[in-house]
Amino acid sequence: MINKPGTTTLVPVDFSEIENQLPELKRFDFRIDSHTFHPAIDSSDADPSFWVELAEIIESKYQEYDGFVILHGTDTMAYSASALSFMLENLHKPVIFTGSQLPIGVLRTDGKENLITAIEIAADRKNDKPIVPEVCIFFQNHLFRGNRTTKFNAEFFNAFKSFNYPSLAETGISIKYNYPAIHHSDVTKPLSISKSMDRSIGIIKLFPGMTENWIQTCLNTPDTKAFIIESYGTGNAVTSAWFMEAIEQAINRGQLIINITQCHAGSVNPGIYESSRRLRELGVINGRDMTTETAVTKLMFLLGKGHEMDEIRILLNKALRGEITI
């Protein structure tokens, strides 16, 4: 983003203007090409059709480049990175998301360092192979797995964290890769792109004082196939009979319900407390330590693939791209 002339409003910017702000890019000893969306969008407007367009660009240029860097607004970056981690099946090259908290044209911007390092990581190789062949987010000296990352800070430069999975790399004077943590796809299988993302899902965040009418309204939203419940602690919910009955009715209608924790760190562990045990008995799926962003995009991906609901239940508890801890 840059400041709109004559105002303090931030507006999207194309890459040619970023190159003007960053002459250091010319010092890389490899070729850098760019693609700009027209019009460029605010990340708040990102949706599945935008993710498909991103995936198609990577698919069309896949054989031409060693890696890809996606400049993205921070607000929905974790959603987009999670989505592409599922959509780009059998990925063997780095796809690095990055951005900034301060606009690129501002003197103290963090965007310059983030972009330069993201490009270096995307091009980095060992034994003539990409070091990090997965979808990642690089921000403020840390490289995170995209589908393990969430934005947790709206003000400071360290805007992103991966609470339940270690960094894939840390940068300082040198780049130190955490090799055991890096995911590698089956090299015998070619890249394939999944372009159908089913939006018919919803999120219900539990809070003290929620009403039966509100829960019923959410669960009875027409054409909604699956719900993510953001529960308390290790997967706990209100134990009132009306709540459990509403969940049971939704499951009996064929809707999928997956339970993830509202906490940034930790995992759903049904059975420790009575309320979570009851949800498990009703057929609520254990979301383990998935982030909200990953639960949303994984559900869209699996529903879009056309799997039967029973198969989706199984796949939600499998680590398809390293997105959950088994």
Q: What is the pLDDT of residues 240-290, one digit of tens each?
A: 999 999 999 999 999 999 999 999 999 999 878 777 889 999 999 999 999
Furthest-apart CA atoms within the chain: distance in Å: 65
Q: Are 296 and 201 in contact (CB under 8 A)?
A: yes
Domains recognised in the chain with CATH numbers? 2-193 (3.40.50.1170), 201-316 (3.40.50.40)
Which residue in 230, 228, 229, 235 sits closest to 274, CA to CA? 235
- From the number of C-beta atoms within 10 Å of its C-beta (0-12, 13-18, 19+), residue 313 rates as middle
At residue 1 the predicted structure's pLDDT band, cuts being 50, 70 and 90, is low
The Cα–Cα gap between 117 and 140 comes to 10
Per-residue pLDDT tens over the stretch 25-57? 888 888 888 888 888 888 899 999 999 999 999
Torsions phi, psi of 129, nearest 5?
-130, 145
pLDDT at 84 over 70: yes
Q: What is the pLDDT of residue 277?
A: 87
SS3 73: coil
SS3 285: strand
